[in-house]
Structure 1
Amino acid sequence: MTMKTALAALALITAPALASAMCAGKTHQAMSCAEGTVWDSASQSCTAQVNS
């Protein structure tokens, strides 16, 4: 019974760590800017929209 409990605890401890490791390189996030501005990925901020 002790071995089953230890294995269950180990699984519960490692599962969240493994799940977060799967998303380590992902940095995509939805960004919304005020009306008349657009997201500029170079400056990582909202900038005024230029209509040409």
Structure 2
Amino acid sequence: MPMKSLITALALAAGLVPAAVQAQGCSHGERQAQISCAEGTAWDAATQSCVTVGS
């Protein structure tokens, strides 16, 4: 029975690790900032700034 308990514990731990990483927002080593633009503007990645949206 001890071996079965050990295997069960390892299986549970292996299932929790990906969930914990995802909960922390891991993006494979990339860290992205949250950008907030004013109403009526949107983030333009090319210019790295907020630009006016619309006509």
Name the TM-score, length of structure 1 as normaliser.
0.48
Name the TM-score, length of structure 2 as normaliser.
0.46
